[in-house]
Amino acid sequence: KLSERLAAVASFVPTGSTVADIGSDHAYLPCYLIHQKIATHAIAGEVVKGPYESARSQVQQEGLTNQVTVRLADGLQAITPEDQVDTITIAGMGGPLIASILAKTPSALTNVTRLILQPNIHARAIREWAMHNGFAILDEMIMEEDDKIYEVIVLQRGEMTLTEKQLLFGPLLSERKAPAFIKKWQGELAQWHKILEAIAQAENTTAMIEKRKELQYKIEMAEAI
């Protein structure tokens, strides 16, 4: 059974899509998308040999070798123009890593109309990349599973300008204020207060003054949620 986290990612994949799941590990998501008849074809990309082998044997076990192509490649290099991929999913990594994968091979995005990204931490990096690269937020979701809170960001082609507050908290998530959202930022807020306290006595170097300012700014924003 697919985790709730990956099921949430799957729920944003349009029916009839050709999907590339980058950093697919066991290829659970692409196999699910084919079984559910959501995707017609899928690529599972993996850069590490072990997970790549796991993906291959999973696809074989599920009898999906004709519908799921597993490739050993770095990021979007798993995709060729002939694949006609229109939807990319990247899940279970940090936001900065997801953003760097997207930034590294922009040519692979030419035919892509939707990106479904699930950062474990620092979702801000993804919103910032989107804002500067012709993608706009179509939807956002926040959920809790096994005591961890996950965000899903759905992007489509378009322009958007986000404020610092919207970059950090998410323009839709901060409007909807779901219970998981409140829980996440209350936790972060407590963490920031702790750090600020811990460095209160530190020497007043330029870097330290900057760090305090940044924390105070984030605390102010989070307290205003």
**Shortest reach from residue 34's CB to ligand SAM, in Å:** 16
Which amino acid, residue 152? V
Distance CA 181, CA 59 (A): 35
The answer to whether 43 and 21 have CB atoms below 8 angstroms apart is: yes
Q: C-beta of 105: minimal distance to ligand SAM in Å?
A: 10
Min dist CB 25 to ligand SAM, Å, is: 4
- Rounded to 10 deg, the angle between the 95-104 and 124-132 helix axes is 30
Letters for 56-85 (x = contact with ligand SAM by CB under 6 A, - = none) are ------------------xx----------
Among positions 8, 12, 19, 23, the unique one binding ligand SAM when judged by CB under 6 A: 23
Q: Is 149 helix (H, G, I), strand (E, B) or coil?
A: strand
- Establish if 93 lies at the interface with ligand SAM (CB under 6 A): yes
Backbone angles phi, psi at 33, to 5 degrees: -65, -35
Q: How far is the CB of 51 from ligand SAM (least distance, A)?
A: 4
* Burial class (CB within 10 angstroms; exposed 0-12, middle 13-18, buried 19+) of 44: buried
Residue whose CB is less far from ligand SAM, 119 or 170: 119
24 near ligand SAM, judged by CB under 6 A: yes
End-to-end CA distance of the chain: 36
Determine the interface stretch with ligand SAM among 23-31, 32-40, 157-165, 208-216 (rule: CB under 6 A).
Answer: 23-31
Least distance (Å) between residue 21 CB and ligand SAM: 7
In sequence order, which residues have a C-beta less than 8 Å from that of residue 79 and are 6 or more positions away?
Answer: 20, 43, 45, 85, 88, 108
Cα(64)–Cα(31) distance, integer angstroms: 7
Near ligand SAM in 158-187, by CB under 6 A: none
Residue 91 is a binding residue for ligand SAM (CB under 6 A): yes
Which position among 8, 12, 19, 25 is part of the footprint of ligand SAM (CB under 6 A)? 25
CB of 197 to ligand SAM, least distance (A): 33
Round to whole Å and give the CA distance between 87 and 38: 11
Q: By CB under 6 A, is residue 30 in contact with ligand SAM?
A: no
Phi and psi at residue 172, to the nearest 5°: -85, -40
- Site for ligand SAM, rule CB under 6 A: 6, 22-25, 45-48, 51, 74-75, 91-93, 101
